[in-house]
Structure 1
Amino acid sequence: MDPVDANPQNYRVVFENDRVRVLEYTDTPGHVTTAHHHPDSVMITASTFRRRLSSNGQSVDVELPAGVARWMSSQDHYGENIGETDTHAFFVELKEPAQSASQGPSGSLGPEGP
C-alpha cells in the first residue's frame, strides 16, 4: 500500500513529477505506522531519530542523525518510533523501474549506509 494512503497523518507529498515523488514524513515517540510500500528511494533525515522497521517477521533498529542521506531499496514494512525524539525525514521515490528484481545489493530492510 502507498505510504500516503496507509498513513495520511504522517506522510505528505511535497513534490511530484513524471520521474520522482518526494514525501515528507513526521511522527512522535511511540507512534507505529500501518504497513506500506516504498519503491527505490533516497531518504534524507531532517531530525535525529530511532526507529524499528519490521517486515515478514524481520526487524531492524535504525538510529540516524539529522542531515544524512541514505539509499533505501524497494521494500514493504511498518515502522515504530522507538526513540525519545520526533521523526522528520524526506523520501525521494524513484518512478523508473529498477534494473533488477532483487531487493538491492544487500537485500536489507531499512536504509543502507554510505
Structure 2
Amino acid sequence: MTMDPVETNPDHYRVVFENDRVRVLEYRDQPGDVTTPHRHPDSVMHTLSSFRRRLVSGDASRDVELAAGTTAWLDAQEHHGENIGDSETHVLFVELKEGADPTDASGLLGPG
C-alpha cells in the first residue's frame, strides 16, 4: 500500500515541481476535511494561508495553528490530518529526496 500523499489524497495534494533532489507539493483543503494516513520525508513547509489543523499519528495527536507566510522544517513523519479551523489550508511542501526515513521518525508531528 502506498503512503504517498499525492496517491492517498489526490483531492488535496498535487505535484507542482519535481527533480532528482526535491519534490514540491501543493496542499489545499477546506474546514472539516480529513486526510487518510500518509508519509512525508524531511521537508520544508511554507504556509500560504493561516489555518488550524489536528495531526494524528497512532495514539499521538497535536493541534497546530499557523499564520500565513510561516516557513518551517517538517521532520519525516507519517500522519493523517483534519482541518479544525474555519479557513482553507493552503501549503507548499518542499520534500527532500534524501534524508530520514519517515518510518523511523522521532515521533514529532507537524513543523519543528
Same fold (TM over 0.5): yes
How much does 1:102 deviate? Answer: 5.5
Correspondence for 2:29: 27
Measured in 1, the distance between the counterparts of 2:88 and 2:73 equals 21
Correspondence for 1:77: 79
User: If the length of structure 1 is used for normalisation, what is the TM-score?
Assistant: 0.91
Once the two structures are aligned, what percentage of the paired residues are identical?
Answer: 64
How much does 1:96 deviate? Answer: 1.2
Measured in 2, the distance between the counterparts of 1:50 and 1:27 equals 11
Aligned length: 109
4+ residue stretches of structure 1 with deviation over 6 A? none
In structure 1, list runs of 5 or more residues that go unmatched: none
Measured in 2, the distance between the counterparts of 1:98 and 1:84 equals 33
- 1:31-110 superposed matches below 5 A: 31-98=33-100, 103=105, 107-110=107-110
Measured in 2, the distance between the counterparts of 1:17 and 1:80 equals 29
Per-residue Cα deviation, 1:36-83 (whole angstroms, up to 9, x for no partner): 000000110000000000001100000000001111100000000000
Measured in 1, the distance between the counterparts of 2:100 and 2:45 equals 17
Letter of the structure 2 residue corresponding to residue 67 of structure 1: G
How much does 1:15 deviate? Answer: 0.2
- Across the aligned residues of Structure 1 and Structure 2, the Cα RMSD in angstroms comes to 1.5
Per-residue Cα deviation, 1:86-106 (whole angstroms, up to 9, x for no partner): 00000000001239x9535xx
Measured in 1, the distance between the counterparts of 2:49 and 2:15 equals 18
User: If the length of structure 2 is used for normalisation, what is the TM-score?
Assistant: 0.92
